[in-house]
């Protein structure tokens, strides 16, 4: 099997020289000529760029990872009868083809990194250059094993090119996978340069920050299991202290989500996508409105597969009523790119006027409430006697099968300008400084350093409040919190800060079943989710974006334990002679 993947215009010329053979040779080499490829700095560099490019492949961050990880406490997706419906209902399953493709895509990064390191062994290039390339390869492999441990728990550890000798490698424990990730990331932190000439390549400080994040999430897991995590938190602090101050927050939160965010001081690690030949992102394809509600971009046939759960929107708005981050995170009003005279609305907005003379009604702010209402859980009064606009009341009581735009869109990952159908001219941050500050606040809190924890937390809160110069009141600066209150504050603040980004699946699971239950119950306890669920159940409503009560309200400990990780793909179990069904993750 030949693999060709273009990442830059340079690689369009070079890629035919560096296609990788996936045949099970005893001594696998790059299929063109290993000596030629790895004795030339230009072609070696192209191989390295290609290895970075595999993270942006459709199987991983280009598309599938976003779909496989929708059960992250923030999203709600189409109820298509199988893949999306089961995923959003926390009913992941091993036979999901996208799950298998994502697993394979992650191992592509591992495999290509191993091939690169093997190919450099006999290279005549300078030792300094080879060490730098190996450090990049080990960063990529370490990052990938970090993600495999986060998402799947167990994984196969392969540190040499695939051959008949290691093709059927058994699964290792989650701890072993994290340890492999740390080994690679520490090597990268010690051997990567301080700066790189090309955006998107890791540097010493990037690797150091990831080591801190890896130790932190391991500490969270250990703590959730009832184990003393002090040593792990201390290691996280030792590396995090080295990374603090090496990056900076964007002054305006909205600047993080422009079409191309290059050289942001907040970006620790990102994938640079293009709308031409090369790395292609398809987030507007998934997160944009469905065809019935116009298009965000004229060339983009978006399908509206994944939206924001309105229960989470209510939580965010009820917690921080005027948080400037909400405008960048949620989209409830947009112009149809195919007909600019048409404007569409989604929860909580509703047009009580006409297309040409709209009268926008903010349901969250203005709709009448029942007695059980709270700011974070509005209990709307849909009775005929209420003062709610009749059309809005009719919309919420509709028993048809179509999408009614009862959920806002994920504004962070949408593009309004596209020069190539289905591809977004946008970069994707996988790790940014706000994330590091919040995880370090968590580390300091667990180590008993409450003052430093508050300092890190307030940097994120203050940036949010001051973004855009709106004079917002929220989120307010925190002055004193108990250790337990700080733990809760940081947990949910990470959800608000990182909502709509691709790391929340593992983030809401890092503290085990206790906190996963909190997240799931936010959806199940939503008054307006319950209203629609009961209406739809009574009227046998199917179709897109219907509401469900997760696990039918029976959130058992086994259900939560199962949902701490994804299943090992059935294809891997079926094709790997050293993995059996007994090795599958709990509950699958």
Q: Tens digits of per-residue pLDDT, 257-313?
A: 987 667 799 999 999 887 666 678 889 889 999 888 888 887 767 788 999 999 999
Q: Give residue 197's pLDDT.
A: 82
483 φ/ψ angles, rounded to the nearest 5 degrees: -60, -45
424 in helix, strand or coil? strand
Q: Tens digits of per-residue pLDDT, 332-390?
A: 999 988 888 889 999 999 999 987 789 999 999 999 999 989 999 999 999 988 999 99
Instruction: Give the DSSP H/E element, type plus range, for residue 52.
Output: helix 41-53
* Distance, CA of 551 to CA of 561 (rounded, Å): 13
| SS (HEC) of 430-492 | EEEHHHHHHHHHHHHHHCCCHHHHHHHHHHHHHHHHHHHHCCCCCCCCCCCCCHHHHHHHHHH
- Encoding tokens for residue 130? 């080879």
Q: Which CATH number fits domain 9-192+568-583: 3.30.365.10, 1.25.40.390, 3.30.465.10, 3.40.50.970?
A: 1.25.40.390
- Whether residue 562 contacts residue 86, with contact meaning beta carbons closer than 8 Å, is answered with no
36 φ/ψ angles, rounded to the nearest 5 degrees: -65, -45
Q: Give residue 421's pLDDT.
A: 59
CA nearest neighbour of 130 among 7, 202, 45, 251: 45
Q: Which residues, listed in sequence order, are joined to residue 217 by a DSSP beta bridge?
A: none
What value does the mean pLDDT take over residues 122-140?
96
- Encoding tokens for residue 513? 């079943």
Domain ranges, ordered by start, for the chain: 9-192+568-583
Q: In the structure, what pLDDT confidence band is assigned to residue 22 with cuts at 50, 70 and 90? A: very low
What value does the mean pLDDT take over residues 495-524?
98
- Encoding tokens for residue 541? 């409503």
* % of the chain surpassing 90 pLDDT: 77
Residue ranges of E strands in 175-275: 267-271
Q: How many other CB atoms are found less than 10 A from the CB of residue 287?
A: 27
CA nearest neighbour of 504 among 59, 62, 66: 66
Strand pairing class (343-345; 333-335) = antiparallel
Q: In the structure, what pLDDT confidence band is assigned to residue 402 with cuts at 50, 70 and 90? A: confident
Output Rg (C-alpha) for the chain, integer angstroms: 24
- Encoding tokens for residue 460? 């994120």
Q: Give residue 478's pLDDT.
A: 97
């Amino acid at each position: 099997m030949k693999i060709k993947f273009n990442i830059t215009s340079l690689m369009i010329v070079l890629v035919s020289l560096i296609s990788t053979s996936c045949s099970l040779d005893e001594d696998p080499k790059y299929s063109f000529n290993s000596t030629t490829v790895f004795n030339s700095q230009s072609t070696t560099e192209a191989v390295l760029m290609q290895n970075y490019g595999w993270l942006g492949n459709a199987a991983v961050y280009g598309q599938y990872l976003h779909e496989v990880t929708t059960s992250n406490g923030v999203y709600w997706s189409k109820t298509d009868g199988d893949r999306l419906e089961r995923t959003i209902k926390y009913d992941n399953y091993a036979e999901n083809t996208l799950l298998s493709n994502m697993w394979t895509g992650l191992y592509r990064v591992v495999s290509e990194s191993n091939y690169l390191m093997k190919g450099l062994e006999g290279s005549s290039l300078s030792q300094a250059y080879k060490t730098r390339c190996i450090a990049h390869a080990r960063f990529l492999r370490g990052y990938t094993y970090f993600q495999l441990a986060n998402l799947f728990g167990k994984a196969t550890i392969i540190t040499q090119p695939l051959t008949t000798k290691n093709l059927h490698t058994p699964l290792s424990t989650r701890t072993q996978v994290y340890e492999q990730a740390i080994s690679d990331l520490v090597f990268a932190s010690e051997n990567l340069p301080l700066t790189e000439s090309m955006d998107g390549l890791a540097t010493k400080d990037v690797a150091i920050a990831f080591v801190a994040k890896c130790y932190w999430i391991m500490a969270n897991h250990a703590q959730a299991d009832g184990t003393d995590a002090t040593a792990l938190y201390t290691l996280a602090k030792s590396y995090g202290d080295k990374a603090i101050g090496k990056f900076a927050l964007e002054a305006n939160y909205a600047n993080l989500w422009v079409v191309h965010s290059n050289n942001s001081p907040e970006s620790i690690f990102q994938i640079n996508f293009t709308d031409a030949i090369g790395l292609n992102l398809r987030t507007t394809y998934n997160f944009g409105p469905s065809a019935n509600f116009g298009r965000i971009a004229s060339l983009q046939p978006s399908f509206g597969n994944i939206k924001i759960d309105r229960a989470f929107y209510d939580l965010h708005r009820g917690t921080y009523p005027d948080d400037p981050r909400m405008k960048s995170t949620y989209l409830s009003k947009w112009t149809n790119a195919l007909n600019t005279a048409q404007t569409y609305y989604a929860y909580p907005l509703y047009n009580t006027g006409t297309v040409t003379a709209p009268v926008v009604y903010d349901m969250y702010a203005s709709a009448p409430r029942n007695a059980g209402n709270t700011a974070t859980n509005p209990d709307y009064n849909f009775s005929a006697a209420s003062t709610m606009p009749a059309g809005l009341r009719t919309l919420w009581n509709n028993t048809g099968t179509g999408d009614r735009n009862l959920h806002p869109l994920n504004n962070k990952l949408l593009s309004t300008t596209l020069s190539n159908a289905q591809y977004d001219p946008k970069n994707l941050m996988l790790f940014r400084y706000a994330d590091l500050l919040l995880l370090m606040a968590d580390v300091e809190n667990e180590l008993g350093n409450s003052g430093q924890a508050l300092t890190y937390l307030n940097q994120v809160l203050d940036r949010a409040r001051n973004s855009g110069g709106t004079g917002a009141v929220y989120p307010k600066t925190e002055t004193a919190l108990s250790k337990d209150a700080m733990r809760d504050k940081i947990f949910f603040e990470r959800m608000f800060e990182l909502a709509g980004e691709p790391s929340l699946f593992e983030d809401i699971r890092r503290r085990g079943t206790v906190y996963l239950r909190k997240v799931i119950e936010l959806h199940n306890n939503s008054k307006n989710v319950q209203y629609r669920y009961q209406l739809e159940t009574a009227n046998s409503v199917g179709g897109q974006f219907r509401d469900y009560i997760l696990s039918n309200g029976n959130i058992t400990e086994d259900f939560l334990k199962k949902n701490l990780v994804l299943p090992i793909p059935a294809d891997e179990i079926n094709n790997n002679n050293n993995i059996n069904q007994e090795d599958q993750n709990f509950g699958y």
